[in-house]
Amino acid sequence: MSKTSEHIYTMHIDDGAPSHPGGSNNYFVGDPQKKMVIIDTGDYERKWTKSIIEYYVQLGKPPIEAILITHGHGDHTGGLDRLQDLVGCPVRCHPDLVGKLSRVLGDESMVIPLEDREKIHLDRSVDLEVIFTPGHEVDHVCYYLACDGVMFTGDAVLGASSTSVRDLTSYMKSLELITTYEHDTVCPAHGPVVPPPKGKDLVQWQLDHRLSRERQVLAALEKGALSISDIRSSIYPSDLDERLIPTAESNVERHLDKLVDEGRVCRTDSIFNIAQ
Ligand SMILES: [Zn+2]
């Protein structure tokens, strides 16, 4: 039983997934004597769902007000049907995810869309604020627990690695938004919980890391790089493991997409130039 803060109990599991070192977390938030919510439901495998259920039993089977979903990926929604069967509560998620999760449960009355900035009330002065944070996925949501100074970042910011991003323009806007919420602890879906003092600056650090990558991409273009592979070889080490080249190049491409969106870079077929 691992208590992270006054209102947070963390169920950590070593799922061994290579894409995110440091295992994964499901969170129970609230007072086990009164009522709680569960954040995310883990992957499809039985072992994971069983671990969440055992944890729920250890907490004394508290009344569960809702299951809150950070986004629709399988490692966050895989245990949903079994867990929801057990606790019998509504499921709350981003509006774009309602259709899919309703089909999973076979009951659309149990899946209720979240509203951006909605506050989910748990107890006197214990509220979880919903923050829509597209980027990793369009349906991504973070949750903010002001009373404990905690940000639940889902897959937007991980505890021990950087995350995959579908749309970097909206991702960076989302990180900027998260930094405006005062918090000193980050509770990610994958990797360890990051407590103070590091937890206070982790989101800003991730944002700075992406901004410095962006500056490197612009500098490579200024020096005459034209293609994605030119840019990659200019900013990554020359002895980069060959197996990592596709990831590095897709990372460069995300940055270029963002810069093209913003009108700072022009694209002609697969040739890129600084916009004049
Ligand atoms: Zn995930």
The confidence score (pLDDT) of residue 162 equals 86
**Ligand 1 geometric centre to CA of 155 (Å):** 5
**Ligand 1 geometric centre to CA of 197 (Å):** 25
Report whether 56 contacts 67 (CB < 8 A).
Answer: no
The confidence score (pLDDT) of residue 187 equals 98
Report d(CA 226, CA 217) in Å as an integer. Answer: 11
pLDDT (mean) for 196-216: 96
**Residues whose Cβ atom is located within 5 A of ion ligand 1:** 75, 155
Name the percent of the chain lying above pLDDT 90: 91
User: 66-83, pLDDT tens digit by residue?
Assistant: 999 999 999 999 999 999
Report d(CA 253, CA 260) in Å as an integer. Answer: 10
Judged against a pLDDT cut of 90, whether residue 93 lies above it is answered with yes
What residues are paired with 12 via a beta bridge? 25
User: 23-78, pLDDT tens digit by residue?
Assistant: 999 999 999 999 999 999 999 999 999 999 999 999 999 999 999 999 999 999 99
Angle between helices 168-179 and 198-222 (to 10 degrees): 150
Judged against a pLDDT cut of 80, whether residue 1 lies above it is answered with no
Mean of all residue pLDDT scores within the chain: 95
Beta-sheet pairing, 8-13 with 2-5: antiparallel
Judged against a pLDDT cut of 80, whether residue 19 lies above it is answered with no
**Ligand 1 geometric centre to CA of 271 (Å):** 33
In Å, how far from its chain's centre is CA 250?
19
**Ligand 1 geometric centre to CA of 75 (Å):** 5
The confidence score (pLDDT) of residue 161 equals 86
**Ligand 1 geometric centre to CA of 44 (Å):** 12
**Ligand 1 geometric centre to CA of 260 (Å):** 28
Report d(CA 70, CA 115) in Å as an integer. Answer: 13
**Ligand 1 geometric centre to CA of 159 (Å):** 12
Judged against a pLDDT cut of 80, whether residue 18 lies above it is answered with no
**Ligand 1 geometric centre to CA of 189 (Å):** 6
Judged against a pLDDT cut of 80, whether residue 248 lies above it is answered with yes
User: 100-112, pLDDT tens digit by residue?
Assistant: 999 999 999 999 9
User: 155-204, pLDDT tens digit by residue?
Assistant: 999 999 889 899 999 999 999 999 999 999 999 999 999 999 999 999 99
Domains and CATH numbers, the chain: 2-191 (3.60.15.10), 210-274 (1.10.10.10)
Judged against a pLDDT cut of 80, whether residue 20 lies above it is answered with no
User: 217-245, pLDDT tens digit by residue?
Assistant: 999 999 999 999 999 999 999 998 998 89
The confidence score (pLDDT) of residue 250 equals 92
Which of 37, 115, 102 is closest to 72 using CA atoms?
A: 102
The confidence score (pLDDT) of residue 45 equals 92
Report d(CA 10, CA 248) in Å as an integer. Answer: 33
Report whether 272 contacts 222 (CB < 8 A).
Answer: no
Categorize the per-residue pLDDT at 251 as very low, low, confident or very high, splitting at 50, 70 and 90.
Answer: very high
The confidence score (pLDDT) of residue 109 equals 95
